[in-house]
Amino acid sequence: MVTHTDNMNTLPDLSAETSHDIVEIYINQMSQQINQDQRKPLARDLNEFFPLVHAAIFSKQKTEGIADDKVVMFVEEDPPEKLDTETITFEIHSRTPGLYSKGSTGAPGHKEVRAHIRSIVDHPEHIGEKLVTMGKMYDNYIKFRVYARTNKQARKRALWFSKLMDSYNWYFKAKGFLVIEEGMGNRDRTKIDGLDITSYPLIYYVRSEDTAHLSSQELKEISLNVNVTSEETD
C-alpha cells in the first residue's frame, strides 16, 4: 500500500509562526492533500488478524460438518501441551517497517521508519478541533504450524489449511489485511505427552498497520512542550 510518506518530507518553518499556528497550517495542508487522494482502506493492527484466521477455521469446519470433538484447535502455544485433536499454532516469524514505493513498478522500496498522517477529520466530540490519525505500516511474516498424530494427518491438514487461507483471502482483504502465502517448510517430529507428533510449518506474509489518534489540541500541546524543552536546554 502506498503511504503519504512523500507528502511529509516538507515540514513548516518552526521559526515563522507560533507553535499553535504551525500545527493549524500543517493540519490544513495535509488534510487537503489527503482528501485529494483516493486511498484504499487502511490496513489493520496485527493483533486483529489472528481472530480472523480463527473465525475462518471455525467457519470452514462448521461448513464441513466436523464433530465438536474432532475440530482443529487454533492456539498460540507452540507446541501445544496436549494434542487431543489436530492443532494449528501461530507465531510472529519476523516483523519489519513496511516497504513502500517511491517510483515506478519494480523500483526499490523504502521502509516506513516513522508514523505518518493517514487521515484528518472533524473531531466527533470537540467542535472546532480536528482528529488526526497517524499510521505506520509493517511487513509481518507469520509462521503457522500444523500438528497431527500421524504424518498423513499432518500433511492433509497442512494442505487443507493452505487451501483455506487462499479461499478466505477475500475475507482478509475486506478486513484490511494483505495476505500472501510464502510456502510450506519441511516436516518436523516432536514428542507431546510421550506421543510422536508430526508438524508442518507454513509461512504467510501479512501487511498490517499500527495507528494512533491525536486531536489537533494534543498536537499543539506536544509542539508547545517540545519548544519549552528546547528553550530550557539551550
Whether 5 maps to a domain, the answer reads no
Whether 53 maps to a domain, the answer reads yes
* pLDDT of 1 above 50: no
Number of domains in the chain: 1
pLDDT for 18 equals 54
What is the C-alpha to C-alpha distance for residues 190 and 147, in angstroms, rounded to an integer?
10
Whether 63 maps to a domain, the answer reads yes
* pLDDT of 149 above 80: yes
Whether 4 maps to a domain, the answer reads no
* pLDDT of 23 above 70: no
Whether 120 maps to a domain, the answer reads yes
What is the C-alpha to C-alpha distance for residues 52 and 50, in angstroms, rounded to an integer?
5
Domain hosting residue 128, numbered range: 15-100+107-233
Whether 7 maps to a domain, the answer reads no
What is the C-alpha to C-alpha distance for residues 191 and 199, in angstroms, rounded to an integer?
11
User: Residue 42's closest CA among 85, 84, 2?
Assistant: 2
pLDDT in tens, 51-83: 999 999 999 999 899 888 889 999 998 777 777
What is the C-alpha to C-alpha distance for residues 162 and 151, in angstroms, rounded to an integer?
17
Q: Sorting pLDDT into bands at 50, 70 and 90, what band is 186?
A: very high
Whether 228 maps to a domain, the answer reads yes
Instruction: Count other Cβ atoms within 10 Å, centred on residue 48.
Output: 13
pLDDT for 142 equals 97
pLDDT top residue among 6 and 91: 91
Longest dimension (CA), the chain: 72
Whether 148 maps to a domain, the answer reads yes
pLDDT for 70 equals 86
Grid cell at residue 219: 498536537
In the predicted model, what is the mean pLDDT of the chain? 76
